[in-house]
Structure 1
């Protein structure tokens, strides 16, 4: 098991990784951050709304399932939102440079960190 900062720092080890954060989806506040390139406080708050909206839509559609991750593909970046299954209300936010990142490896890394995270 890794603490929050070790977990986030390990995510930056992948080629193309720019920044990442652990976010409390109940408040929109960050519990930890690593890297640079974005205003992570603003991104945490905004992506909290993305998670809430998707959960609300799933509830309205009566989809009895869990979100593993949400991928947002921009022209130059990938944004991965990975919900922490063992800690309800938390998610990892991961930003990668699209021209240098391997999306499959990044998703695996986020899943690995999610399962090993210790608070």
Structure 2
């Protein structure tokens, strides 16, 4: 098991990673951030994506889907944004938010590695 700082550093080692955050989707609060750019405030981006997670959770509830979100992918012109809800008991209500450079990232491998980070995360 890895603590928050170790997990953030591990996620930042994923090829193409620009930045990563751990976010509470009930409050929008960012618990930890690593990386990012001067042009992009990762804390604001992560907090803004709480609406995405909440909307998908509500939609699944309205459809009576008995399933879990593995991850949510947002594809931009130059970036991938992966939102991965934390499924561990201590991480309930949290998600990992990973920004990747589309030119440098292998999306399938990044998703696999982010799952490993999520599984090791201990809060």
TM-score normalized by the length of structure 1? 0.96
The match for 1:53 is: 55
Q: Which runs of 5+ in 2 are unaligned?
A: none
Aligned residue pairs total 119
Distance of 1:10 and 1:113 partners within structure 2: 7
Matched, 1:42 2:78: no
Q: Distance in 2 between matches of 1:41 and 1:27?
A: 13
Q: CA deviation at 1:15?
A: 2.0
Q: 1:14: how far off?
A: 2.1
* Greater Cα offset, 36-45 or 26-35: 36-45
Does structure 1 retain, via aligned residues, the 8 Å contact 2:73–2:83? yes
Deviation at 1:52, TM superposition (A): 0.1
Runs of 4+ in 1 over 2 A off after TM superposition: none
Contact map agreement 2:79 2:101 (CA 8 A) in 1: yes
Equivalent residue number for residue 101 of structure 1: 105
Q: Helix, strand or coil for the counterpart of 2:49?
A: helix
| 2:7 aligned counterpart, secondary structure | helix
Paired residues of 2:15 and 2:110 also in contact (CA < 8 A): no
Which secondary structure state, in structure 1, belongs to the residue aligned with residue 22 of structure 2?
A: strand
Distance 2:72 2:82 in 1: 6
Match of 1:115 among 92, 111, 119: 119
Residue of structure 1 equivalent to 2:86: 84
